[in-house]
Structure 1
Amino acid sequence: MSKADYVYAVLLEEIRTAQIPGGTALRAAAVAARLGVSVTPVREALRRLENDRLVRYQAHHGATVVDLGDAALEEFYGVRAALEGLGARLAAARITPAELDGLRALHESMAESLERGESAGLGELSRDFHLRIADIGGPAFLGQQARAAHNSFPVPPGASLWLRPAPAARQLAAHAAVLRALEEADADAAERVMTAHIRDAGTWRRTHLSGHSDLG
């Protein structure tokens, strides 16, 4: 990993998880000092983040983290539903027994954690579940696009629906339904369930958390 790659990975994760909230100015010198690198790789990383539309440059202000609103939130879940619905459809025809076993193990681990009330890491495990399916369904392009979509909208840790028992249980049930469709090689059901699952998550977040970026 180059220094620019390292800086990019750190800043991407901090923006994605809203550790650096929207509207924050990113001073290259300050970031360089914090991460122990020179200013050059920081500037390269910031340009990459600008291409990802996570950072924008403004005259006399430098780089600022984009502050996304409700319209962007709706678009985020719509794009995810389209991409990951297609990914699930394609995965139904391509998934191997070993890949199914891996998804089952991940799902069972999530169910056990939810039952124990250990919900802090469920959001990241859910992301893993979704991206594994997208990678299986579209290893050439679709998985990469799904990953980019996941990274495009910050989710504060406290804004995760996995921290709330009722919606978390509903989302876990949807994961189980997606798994059944994949096991049965039912492409129509896999796409339908995955699409509805993501749209349901988007509806919940818009209804309960819209405009509350400070929940993290």
Structure 2
Amino acid sequence: MSTSEPRPPMSKAEYVYSVLLDDIRHSRIPGGTALRAGEVARRLGVSVTPVREALRRLEKDQLISYEAHHGATVVDLGDEALAEYYGLRAVVEGLGARLAAARITPADLAGLRELHASMADDAEHGRYDRLGEQSRRFHLRIVDIGGPAFLGGHARSVRDNFPVPAEASLWLAETQVKAQLEAHEGILAALEAGDADAAERIMIGHVRRAGDHRTHH
């Protein structure tokens, strides 16, 4: 390995972990699915040892559980966990928006407006599949602006520890997209005005609406 390489290549266990994590997060491997080390090893072309290591990490992340005679199973989170997830996101992202109202710079605001304009353009042209990831970036950028020391990291870990099936995204529901984009506009206006109360209130309502949509579908 040349000394110019910035970091060592990903280990096999790291590779298996990243693939499984991505599959679980996007519900390509749904809750309740049994994960057999031998099958995973064959699918990814590695030996069973790195798979076992990756499964132990996923257990630590509380994304899989081990049961006697069943082995590793992807955790199936029900409606209560769903409500808790959106409740926690509303608090963390709401606080992020409140703090961002006092700290946001014109450059920050311009970046958020650019992201919002790109989302509005995608929505107008029916490219709904692009909106979920852009919305995630929009929300996390606001939290990073408001809480660069701790809050941004918390917001990411909350989102990363809960699998959201791509098809459950509110951004794929055409009837919901307009209201969602209007909420983003409201948040931007509140941030520009330095109105911490409004920024927090709109963000909380916006996140809770996404939770209600998931719970009833």
TM over 0.5: yes
Residues 30-179 of structure 1 correspond to what in structure 2 (within 5 A)? 30-179=39-188
Query: Residue 17 of structure 2: SS of its match in structure 1?
Result: helix
How far 1:192 moved relative to its partner? 1.0
Q: Deviations over 1:7-55 (max 9, x none)?
A: 2222121111100000111122222232233333322222222122111
**Number of residue pairs the alignment of both structures matches:** 208
Residue in structure 2 matched with residue 214 of structure 1 by the alignment:
none
Task: Report the secondary structure of 1:120's partner residue.
Answer: helix
Q: Which segments of structure 1 move beyond 3 Å, counting only runs of 4 or more?
A: none
Shifted more, 149-158 versus 162-171: the winner is: 149-158
* Alignment gaps of 5+ in structure 2: 1-9
Give the Cα separation in 1 of the matches to 2:191 and 2:18.
32
Given that residues 12 and 151 in structure 1 are in contact (C-alpha distance below 8 angstroms), is that contact kept between their aligned partners in structure 2? Answer: no
Matched, 1:15 2:16: no
Moved more, 63-72 or 148-157: 148-157
From the superposition, tell whether residues 59 and 172 of structure 1 become closer, same or farther in structure 2 (CA, over 3 Å): same
| Structure 1 range deviating more: 31-40 or 126-135 | 31-40
The percent of aligned pairs where both chains have the same amino acid is 67
Map 1:199-214 → 2, pairs under 5 A: 199-207=208-216, 209=217
The AA in structure 1 aligned to 2:170 is: L
Q: Using the TM superposition, give the Cα deviation of residue 105 of structure 1 relative to its aligned residue in structure 2, in angstroms.
A: 1.0
Q: Structure 1: which amino acid aligns with 2:15?
A: Y
Code of the residue aligned with 2:124 in structure 1: it is E
Q: TM-score with structure 2 length normalisation?
A: 0.89
**CA distance in structure 2 between the partners assigned to 1:136 and 1:32 by the alignment:** 41
Structure label with greater radius of gyration: 2
Q: State the AA in 1 paired with 2:125.
A: R
* TM-score, normalised by the number of residues in structure 1: 0.89
